[in-house]
């Protein structure tokens, strides 16, 4: 059981003067229990890709298959797919509408047909998972702080217990400790055999937390590999608008000037390399 995208292409306003090719021949697959990061600059098509993953957009050519079900316009299939693929939009706190936190979080599972104790349990589980105290359940979500609102919004997606969790720029606007908490959550999700698809423009974050990274540029897939493979590749492929993390730049410089072996984004390995360089220079 997995999520696979085969030769997916999508064009906005097809046939009009404002036509824009958002995705071109994208293929990849994602397994349960891994964190897959999709990295791309603004306008690279990554949000369009996210909307394809739970059938908000239907492929114009190619296909998206989730646990053996193809996304098409059949409402029954779409319902199943949306239940198993949770999508957290950018600034998810903007979707909050309910009077209490527990009403907000129960919106998803209620729509999927859950009632009574099972529904309540889902809400409390989701709140615990995201690190919200149970006392928040009766609070008014509009009176919470920004970070708390975002947690409520993410919990409202988690409450549907999706097998695939797609997050579009979940760290946007969060402070450093917020980012750390979120990455911890993503890691704990993937331990639960959930597939986490993390969409971001932050290459450094992606390198730190992912099992695999896809790089998207101008709607096409330019790279697909593990963080270390991607680190090696980045010096060769020039991706528009993608800023190299400082640590990788340093690693490249070391390799160029002193001929160190591996490109790495791991600070410990880099420290070892610098130590080795120092010894040889002496």
Partner 1 sequence: MSLIKGVTLGQYMPADSFFHKLDPRCKLLVTVLSMILIFMSGNFPAMAIWAFFIIFIAKKSQIPAKALMRSAKPILVLIIFTSLLHIFFTGGNNIIFSIGPLKASAEGTVTAFRMGLRLYLLVLFTALLTFTTSPSELSDGLEAAFGPFTRFGFPAHEVAMMMTIALRFIPTLFEETERIINAQVSRGADFVSGGLIKRAKAYIPVLIPLFVLVFKRADTLASAMEARCYRGGKGRVRMYPLTWGSAENRALMGFFVFCTVVICLNRWG
- By CB under 8 A, tell whether 89 contacts partner 1: yes
Sole binder of partner 1 in the list 37, 44, 48, 83 (CB under 8 A): 83
Q: Judging by DSSP bridges, how do beta strands 2-12 and 212-217 pair with one another?
A: unpaired
Q: What is the largest CA-CA distance in the chain?
A: 72
Transcribe 9-51 into DSSP letters: EEEETTTSTT-EEEEEEEEEEEETT-EEEEEE-TTSSHHHHHH
Give, as ranges, the residues between 117 and 146 that touch partner 1 (CB under 8 A).
Answer: 142
Stretch that binds partner 1, among 15-23, 74-82, 126-134, 257-265 (CB under 8 A): 74-82
Sole binder of partner 1 in the list 37, 44, 54, 217 (CB under 8 A): 54
Sole binder of partner 1 in the list 28, 107, 136, 164 (CB under 8 A): 107
Nearer to partner 1, 10 or 234 (CB): 10
Size of interface with partner 1, in residues (CB under 8 A): 25
Spell out where 78-191 has E strands: 85-88, 164-168
Give the whole-angstrom CA distance, residue 79 versus residue 63.
17
Nearer to partner 1, 112 or 252 (CB): 112
DSSP 171: T
Contact 179, 191 (CB under 8 A): no
- By CB under 8 A, tell whether 108 contacts partner 1: yes
Residue 218 CB, shortest distance to partner 1, in Å, is 22
Residue 202 CB, shortest distance to partner 1, in Å, is 21
Stretch that binds partner 1, among 82-90, 199-207, 210-218, 253-261 (CB under 8 A): 82-90
Contact 50, 162 (CB under 8 A): no
Nearer to partner 1, 142 or 262 (CB): 142
Transcribe 207-275 into DSSP letters: HHH-SEEEEEETTEEEEEE-HHHHHHHTTTS--TTPPPPHHHHHHHHHHHHH--S-----HHHHHHHHH
Residues interacting with partner 1, by CB under 8 A?
51, 54, 56, 75, 79, 82-83, 86-87, 89, 92, 94-98, 107-108, 110-112, 142, 156-157, 160
């Amino acid at each position: 059981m997995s999520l696979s995208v085969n030769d997916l292409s999508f064009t906005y306003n097809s046939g009009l003067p404002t036509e824009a090719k958002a995705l071109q021949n994208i293929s990849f697959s994602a397994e349960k229990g891994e964190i897959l990061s999709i990295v791309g600059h603004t306008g690279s098509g990554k949000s369009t890709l996210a909307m394809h993953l739970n059938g908000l957009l239907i492929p114009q050519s190619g296909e998206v298959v989730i646990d053996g079900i193809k996304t098409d316009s059949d409402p029954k299939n779409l319902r199943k797919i949306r239940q198993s693929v949770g999508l957290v939009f950018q600034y998810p706190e903007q979707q909050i509408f309910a009077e209490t936190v527990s009403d907000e979080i129960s919106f998803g599972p209620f729509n999927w047909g859950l009632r009574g104790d099972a529904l309540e349990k889902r809400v409390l589980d989701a709140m615990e998972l995201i690190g919200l105290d149970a006392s928040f359940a009766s609070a008014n979500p509009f009176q919470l702080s920004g970070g708390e609102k975002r947690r409520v919004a993410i919990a409202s997606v988690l409450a549907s217990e999706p097998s695939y969790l797609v997050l579009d720029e979940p760290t946007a606007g969060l402070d450093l400790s917020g980012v750390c908490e979120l990455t911890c959550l993503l890691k704990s999700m993937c331990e639960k055999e959930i597939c986490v698809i993390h969409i971001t423009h932050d290459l450094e974050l992606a390198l730190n937390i992912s099992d695999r990274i896809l790089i998207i540029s101008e709607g096409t897939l330019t790279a697909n590999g593990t963080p270390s493979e991607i680190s090696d590749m980045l010096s060769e492929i020039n991706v528009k608008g993608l800023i190299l993390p400082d640590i990788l730049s340093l690693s490249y410089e070391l390799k160029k000037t002193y001929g160190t072996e591996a490109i790495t984004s791991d600070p410990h390995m880099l420290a070892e390399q610098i130590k080795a360089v120092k010894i040889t220079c002496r």
